[in-house]
A and B are shown apart, each in its own frame.
Chain A
């Protein structure tokens, strides 16, 4: 519903500017790969599991293989290397191929790399099996939707105890109390690990490790709960960090519904090299798009960074840029779930009105996106009673602006992590507020040229200016100068930079040529 009387030419201009920012980067991406992308390709081809390298220490097969292949050969893509090995050993299955590589029986210098189409032909059975798996997960999500859904906003809760079985138990409790989305918080700083741990985990730090087995356990439990509760209870996880492509593959294979996948998150939050991040997110989106996963971006960055005085245009600009990155791999609009967060200092006069303006602005501009509305915890303190007031204000804004998903803040969640009673309080409050104000969205209009409309228009105008500045500087340069969230990040610095590889002319990655729009 259109309520802000926006200048739609200005919106179109913002989109054009974002496209102009992203376009040169697309070319850069097309010419490069990363160790994480190649490991993800291996995982897609079924190279799973760990190998014990010394007593008590296991490494993922995918990491071991990529580490073993000389960088010069990696430039051709791991798919080309595997295809060349398969050509000489037609009967070799994945463990056999892994063994040949890891035992040093392959002379990479002498390996005959085939043209991309020949490589793809050799790998066809493995490729087809991966694509079939991804497609199956997409169909399954569509089936699950037939179970029914709660009225919007969907109630999104976060938990992560470190022990996956405990998470299952807490997820069950929250689902029974009305949660529609269960998001698992990852162990602190997992995004900095350059490998994905494996197996069921029973300890974590401030969260639960993302592993394929943990994904499987939680998804199985949530599917069962969905059938019990007769509504689709979705599973959300996070793929940001040095292993974004691999985590996306695992999430896709195990049927994760929502995945955090932001272009800038790793770079700004964790100082991950921007080039690495940009290439990784691109391949991730190809996979998640195919598997029908909704991605959410992490727009709380400029809000939380603490230095931005005028974070509103930064946030909106980030949305436009993230949208273009997603579109550049052909993602459907309904899978581009923007994550939207603002700070609302309840002490400021009319802060609620500004928040209303921003929330409505997002809703109108990205009207097809399943926006995740994120109440900021920045102004929450130890006063758990007052925190309920802040959350309720955000609930009201979500209702008044017709949001799709409401991430539920909890009275003490930012202090003591995930306490069951805390989530219970949050769900109880959200249930009542949402019910009490169910039709508010359809009943509300804003005063023409009032404070809400004026704020929305100002932010939109400033966003266009800000995007133009980024476009004129160039994306990488803008990152270097700290135009995003006032956090300058060198384009050749940060973590994971050494994992960026220039592609050779013979480079093959059969998953990239497979159009994601195929199954529409």
Chain B
């Protein structure tokens, strides 16, 4: 039966395996509102820790009709999926650039998104065969960067600005958008993304960016977003 509500859970509880353990796990599962609880595995893994696996039935229901849109952009595709998607839809490499704005900027966040080493076990953009990823870090000033974008016909740009002063990043990021408008030859479809510790989608959109990524962003999210945006823009 499809909607049987069957679930299987594994977790570790902070107590030794003893006469009370089974009951404790049962109580915990009841508090999770599970029915027909079956504890299928209990094993002590340390003096005060027990590993449990249990099965049960979850009677909670969700009305799919009522789900409209996901408030947070859910773009976590995997590496192969994204590359396949680009290959199939866009049929060429996407050029993506990264740069930090301002002199006291810290390109480390940018590096975690671009480098092979990546972040949270996900390799950075430069490993994607379907991306031509160029990370300028803090090497270029704003006019130079805008010129590069025009010269190399970049499809997407990731800018970061990490500053010790609170409002500084916003000002610089806006300046960058004005610089882009001034520069001839910047591709119309350029996907503009800003990244930084205090940024999110709303703040980024208020400034005129297409997207903002904050802390904890993994390369796949960025790659997935760029791929999707590109498709929208090129009306594919």
Residues on A lying within 8 angstroms of B by beta carbon are 173, 176-177, 188-189, 191-192, 206, 268-271, 301, 304-307, 377, 381, 414-415, 417, 420-421, 424, 485, 487
Contacts and interface: CB of A to CB of B under 8 A. Distances in A.
B45 A420 contact: yes
A306 B123 CA distance: 9
B119 interface: yes
Contact of B119 (A188, A305, A377): A188
8 contacts: A177-B45, A270-B115, A304-B127, A306-B128, A415-B121, A420-B46, A421-B45, A485-B116
Given A270-B115, A304-B116, A381-B78, 7 more contacts: A173-B46, A177-B45, A271-B115, A304-B127, A305-B116, A305-B123, A306-B79
A173 B50 CA distance: 12
A268 B112 contact: no
Contact of B45 (A173, A191, A304): A173
B111 A271 contact: yes
A415 B78 CA distance: 13
Nearest to B53: A421
A348 to B, nearest CB: 14
A277 B112 CA distance: 19
Contacts of A191: 117
A189 B117 CA distance: 9
B116 A421 contact: no
Interface of B: 10-12, 45-46, 49, 51, 78-79, 108, 111-112, 115-117, 119-121, 123, 126-129, 135
Contacts of B112: 188-189
A269 B11 contact: no
A307 B119 contact: no
Contacts of B45: 173, 177, 420-421, 424
The secondary-structure label for the interface of chain B is mixed
A420 B112 CA distance: 26
B116 A176 contact: no
A487 B45 CA distance: 43
B160 to A, nearest CB: 13
Nearest to A191: B117
Contacts of A415: 121
**Ordered nearest first, which 7 A-B pairs have the shortest CB separation?**
A306-B127, A269-B117, A414-B121, A421-B12, A173-B46, A424-B45, A269-B116
Contacts of A421: 10-12, 45, 51
B118 to A, nearest CB: 9
Contacts of A485: 116
B72 to A, nearest CB: 18
A206 B120 CA distance: 7
B108 A189 contact: yes
B129 A307 contact: yes
For A177, A206, A377, which residue has the most chain B Cβ atoms within 10 angstroms? A206
A360 B17 CA distance: 42
For B116, B119, B120, which residue has the most chain A Cβ atoms within 10 angstroms? B116
A18 B17 CA distance: 56
Contacts of A189: 108, 111-112, 117
A270 B126 contact: no
A189 B10 CA distance: 32
A315 B78 CA distance: 25
Contacts of A307: 127, 129
A192 B46 contact: no
Contacts of B129: 306-307
Nearest to B215: A205
B49 A420 contact: yes
B49 A271 contact: no
Nearest to A173: B46
B30 to A, nearest CB: 21
Contacts of B135: 271
Nearest to B10: A421
Contacts of B51: 421, 424
Given A192-B111, A270-B115, A305 B127 contact: yes
A306 B124 CA distance: 10
Nearest to A493: B139
A270 B127 contact: no
